[in-house]
C-alpha cells in the first residue's frame, strides 16, 4: 500500500513539473517563423511605393515609399531584406522586411530595371535597360560594384538558374537572350528568340528555360544544356511574366493585352487552360513558396490578381498602388 502511494505521489510530482515546464519551454522557443505566412511585395511605378501583402489573408499590411519609378523587386533568401530597382532615381532601395522601412539606398547605374539575387544573398544582379548592361553588386562590401557585363539591346530583366551558375537576360530590341556564366562573369552565348522578349523562368531542375516574346506573342522553350530553342508555343497578345510551379508540372504566363493568364503543360507544350484577369496589362507574376498561389500585377487596374494554382481560378483582386509592375514573394 505504501509503495503504491509513493508511486502515485511520484507520478503526480512528475506531471506537476512537466506542467510547469511546458509553458516556459513554449516561451523559450519562437514559433512565429513556423506560423507566419510569407509577405508579397508589389512595386508601383507611378506612386513610387511598394505595397506589402500578407499571403495568408491577402490583405495589404503596409505601403513603403521608395525611389522614382520602382520596377524590379527581389527578396533576400533569408527573407530579411527586400531590394527594389528604381528606374528614374537610378538606385536600389533596401527595405527591412521586419519594419517595412527603407534602410539603405544603393547606386545602381542608369535606369535599373530587372533584378535577381544569389542564393547566399551576397550578390545582386541588376540590368540597366538604357545602358545595355548587367551590373553585379556585392552588397557585403563597401565598394559593391564587381563588374559590368554587356548584354543585348534594352535588357528587360535577369533571372538566375536554380543552381545560380547561369544568368539569363532577355533583350527587348535585339530579340535575344544573353546567357552569362556567373563564375567567370563572361557571356556564354546569345540565343535568338521571338520579337521583344520580356519574361524568363526556368524549371526547378534548370533543364528548360522559358522566354516570353511580347510582339511575336510566343513562348520559347530552350534546352539549357544546349542553349537551343526546342519549341515555340503560341500565346495570347503580349505575353510577359512567367512562373513555373515548384514541382514543374505547370507553367503560367501573364499577358499585357489579352486579359488572362495561360496555363501550360510542359510535357506537351500546350495551353491547357486560360484564367481571366480583368483590368488590363497583367504583367509580372510570383508564386508562394508552396506554389499554391500565383500573384499577378494588373497595371491598368491598380490591382494584384491572386490565382489558386490547384483549381486554376481567380481568388481575388487586391487594390495596391498606382500602376503595379513587379512582384516578389518572401521565401
Write the DSSP string, 296-318: EEEGGGTEEEEEETTTTEEEEEE
Number of Cβ within 10 Å of residue 289's Cβ equals: 14
C-alpha cell at 175: 530579340
Q: ∠ CA 173-225-196 to the nearest 5 degrees?
A: 15
Q: Give residue 280's pLDDT.
A: 84
Global pTM value:
0.89
List CB contacts of 18: < 8 A, sequence separation 6 or more: none
Q: Give residue 36's pLDDT.
A: 64
How far apart (Å, rounded) are the C-alpha atoms in residues 27 and 161?
A: 40
Q: Give residue 167's pLDDT.
A: 98
Sign of the C-alpha dihedral computed for residues 302, 308, 314 and 318 taken in this order = negative
Closest CA relative to residue 37, chosen from 300, 320, 265, 295 = 295
CATH number of 40-329: 3.30.200.20, 2.130.10.10, 2.60.40.420, 1.10.3720.10? 2.130.10.10
Q: Are 198 and 220 in contact (CB under 8 A)?
A: no
How far apart (Å, rounded) are the C-alpha atoms in residues 10 and 33?
A: 37
Q: Give residue 154's pLDDT.
A: 97
Residue 154: which region, alpha, beta or left (left: phi > 0; alpha: psi -120 to 50)? left
Q: Give residue 142's pLDDT.
A: 85
Residues of the chain with pLDDT under 50: 1-2, 6, 9, 11-13, 15-35
Q: Give residue 278's pLDDT.
A: 87
Closest CA relative to residue 282, chosen from 236, 313, 249, 248 = 236
Q: For residue 237, give the DSSP letter.
A: S
Amino acid at each position: 500500500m505504501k509503495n503504491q502511494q509513493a508511486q502515485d505521489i511520484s507520478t503526480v510530482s512528475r506531471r506537476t513539473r512537466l506542467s510547469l515546464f511546458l509553458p516556459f519551454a513554449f516561451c523559450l522557443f519562437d514559433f512565429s517563423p513556423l506560423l507566419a505566412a510569407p509577405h508579397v511585395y508589389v512595386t508601383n511605378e507611378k506612386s513610387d511605393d511598394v505595397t506589402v501583402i500578407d499571403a495568408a489573408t491577402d490583405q495589404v499590411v503596409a505601403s513603403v515609399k521608395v525611389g522614382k519609378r520602382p520596377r524590379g523587386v527581389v527578396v533576400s533568401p533569408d527573407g530579411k531584406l527586400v531590394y527594389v530597382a528604381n528606374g528614374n532615381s537610378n538606385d536600389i532601395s533596401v527595405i527591412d522586411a521586419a519594419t517595412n522601412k527603407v534602410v539603405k539606398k544603393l547606386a545602381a547605374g542608369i535606369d535599373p530595371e530587372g533584378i535577381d539575387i544569389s542564393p547566399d544573398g551576397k550578390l545582386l544582379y541588376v540590368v540597366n535597360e538604357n545602358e545595355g548592361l548587367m551590373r553585379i553588386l556585392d552588397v557585403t562590401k563597401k565598394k559593391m560594384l564587381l563588374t559590368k557585363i554587356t548584354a543585348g539591346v534594352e535588357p528587360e530583366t535577369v533571372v538566375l538558374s536554380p543552381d545560380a551558375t547561369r544568368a539569363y537576360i532577355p533583350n527587348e530590341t535585339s530579340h535575344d537572350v544573353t546567357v552569362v556564366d556567373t563564375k567567370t562573369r563572361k557571356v556564354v552565348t546569345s540565343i535568338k528568340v521571338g520579337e521583344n522578349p520580356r519574361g524568363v523562368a526556368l524549371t526547378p531542375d534548370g533543364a528548360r528555360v522559358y522566354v516570353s516574346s511580347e510582339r511575336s506573342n510566343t513562348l520559347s522553350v530552350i534546352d539549357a544544356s544546349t542553349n537551343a530553342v526546342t519549341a515555340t508555343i503560341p500565346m495570347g497578345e503580349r505575353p510577359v511574366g512567367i512562373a513555373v510551379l515548384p514541382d514543374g508540372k505547370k507553367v503560367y504566363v501573364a499577358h499585357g493585352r489579352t486579359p488572362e493568364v495561360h496555363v501550360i503543360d510542359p510535357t506537351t507544350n500546350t495551353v491547357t487552360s486560360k484564367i481571366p484577369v480583368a483590368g488590363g496589362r497583367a504583367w509580372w507574376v510570383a508564386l508562394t513558396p508552396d506554389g499554391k498561389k500565383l500573384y499577378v500585377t494588373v497595371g491598368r487596374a491598380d490591382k494584384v490578381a491572386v490565382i489558386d494554382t490547384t483549381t486554376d481560378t481567380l481568388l481575388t483582386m487586391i487594390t495596391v498602388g498606382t500602376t503595379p509592375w513587379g512582384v516578389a514573394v518572401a521565401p
